[in-house]
Amino acid sequence: MSEFKQTMSEVTLLTRTLESIKSAFASLPPLPPSPPYPPISPLLTTAALNDLQFNIQHLYPTLARFRTRLTELDPVTNLPRYGENMTAKVTGLLSDHDALVALSSDVLTAPVFEYVAQYESKVKAEGERMERGEEEEREGEEERRAKEEEEEELRAVKEKAAAARRAVVERDEAIGERAARRCEDARREVIIIPLSHMCSFTRVFGPCVHV
């Protein structure tokens, strides 16, 4: 692409961008002191406005060269450097660039930059506030889970201790029951002379005589 076509394309694009910014800014309400904040065009950022301003200024040397060439003469023919058609095109380009510069002076103003800077500052502060709130909520949730885990561990320890106490009681009761059964069995095993044996003793030796 020739320098002329490239410059013409850039002038056209920058003009359309400025017109979009002008329209977007005109539709914005006054910036509220607190959220919610109105949606804003992605063109209305400090970075985008600075880039746009830089690109417009970057065209000045190129347009100055075209402006100079309009008055230059060919050293061989001593005729104007540009022919009639090219002269008309360059003249139109210079006119469009002048309109672009005027539009940029009307759009890229201090109030626009101030509005955008305040908007970005407020949105950033709100984002940080929300982030802190989310962080606090996460920390609170972590503390709640930690407390629940601690309480669960304490319940488990108490249940384990209670189970151990029940086991000791059951063991002692079982030992007592076994001891009682052994005592009962021992009493039943005491040697008692059967009645039939007593009768045999009487026939042989006679009845017992108590003195």
Domain extents for the chain?
A: 3-108
The amino acid at 165: R
Q: Residues in the chain with pLDDT < 70? A: 1, 190-211
Q: How far apart are CA 120 and CA 132, in angstroms?
A: 18
3-class state of residue 92 by DSSP: helix
Q: What angle do CA 122, 124, 19 make, to 5 degrees?
A: 70
Question: What ranges make up the beta strands (E) of the chain?
Answer: none
pLDDT at site 1? 61
pLDDT at site 202? 53
Here the tokens at position 31 are 């910036």
Contact 24, 44 (CB under 8 A): yes
pTM: 0.62
3-class state of residue 80 by DSSP: strand
Here the tokens at position 3 are 């320098």
- What Cα–Cα distance (Å) separates residue 13 from each residue in 67, 129, 202? 20, 38, 144
Q: How far apart are CA 170 and CA 82, in angstroms?
A: 115
pLDDT at site 27? 92
The sign of the torsion formed by the CA atoms of 139, 36, 33, 122 equals positive
In b/e form, how buried is each residue of 136-148, taking b as 16+ CB within 10 angstroms?
Answer: eeeeeeeeeeeee
What is the signed CA dihedral for 174, 178, 180, 184, rounded to 10 degrees? 150
Contact 11, 59 (CB under 8 A): yes
